[in-house]
Amino acid sequence: MVIKTADFICSNTQISRLPLPLKPEYAFIGRSNVGKSSLINMLTQKKGLAKTSQTPGKTQLINHFLVNDNWYIVDLPGYGYARTSKSNKEDWNKFIRTYLDKRESLQCVMVLIDSRLDPQKIDLEFCNWLGEKGLSFVTVFTKADKQGSIKTDQSVAKFRRALLGYFEEAPPYFVTSSETMMGRDEVLGFIDDINKN
């Protein structure tokens, strides 16, 4: 897919104020610092579209970016930041889970996983929750440039094996790097295919 335009539309703290659900949406989510903003900027080739390295655990915003006037990238707040307070975590849960559970235009949740780490409980539990809700999701492994491909492959395999504790079949996955643009065509191609159907 060729990205012609990618524009910030709105930031929301309330579900009731989201844009009308008239265009397909792809939600990007993961632990704080996983590389979500960098990935969104890499996919759209627009530096600074999503703000990188924000202080995690602060305002919980759902950001909508409109791509090619046709579909939305939805930037969801990161989870699992150690210093986030309990009430902040509960707010996160309610707000994001309501969005994910109820958003009729949501096509797929892109769950970002740091390709350098062993499977993290919080990621696995989140994937499990998506599965329980019947939400379609894929895993997007980030920061692949930070290590050799053998290490990345091992890490991806470990995570997918861990997912099999919850699922009969692991969902599709992508290996990406915002530095080298690895995985860009694959992720955009995946979205394009869904948009066409």
Give the binding site for ligand GDP (CB under 6 A): 32-38, 52-53, 78, 142-143, 145-146, 177-179
Nearer to ligand GDP, 58 or 161 (CB): 58
> Which three-class secondary structure state does DSSP give residue 128?
helix
CA torsion, ordered 178, 180, 182, 184, to nearest 10 deg: 60
Nearest distance in Å: CB 78, ligand GDP: 5
Nearest distance in Å: CB 196, ligand GDP: 28
Nearest distance in Å: CB 143, ligand GDP: 4
Nearer to ligand GDP, 116 or 160 (CB): 116
Nearest distance in Å: CB 37, ligand GDP: 3
* Side chain identity at residue 185, one-letter code: D
Nearer to ligand GDP, 103 or 184 (CB): 184
Nearest of 114, 137, 104 to residue 21 by alpha carbon:
104
- 173 neighbors 160 (Cβ within 8 angstroms): yes
Residue whose CB is nearest to ligand GDP in the complex, by number: 35
Q: Which residue has the tokens 């009430």?
A: 87
Nearer to ligand GDP, 107 or 142 (CB): 142
- 74 neighbors 64 (Cβ within 8 angstroms): yes
Q: Which two tokens stand for residue 103?
A: 């958003």
Nearer to ligand GDP, 1 or 35 (CB): 35
> Which three-class secondary structure state does DSSP give residue 88?
helix
Classify burial at 80, counting beta carbons within 10 Å of its beta carbon; exposed 0-12, middle 13-18, buried 19 or more.
buried
Nearest distance in Å: CB 53, ligand GDP: 4
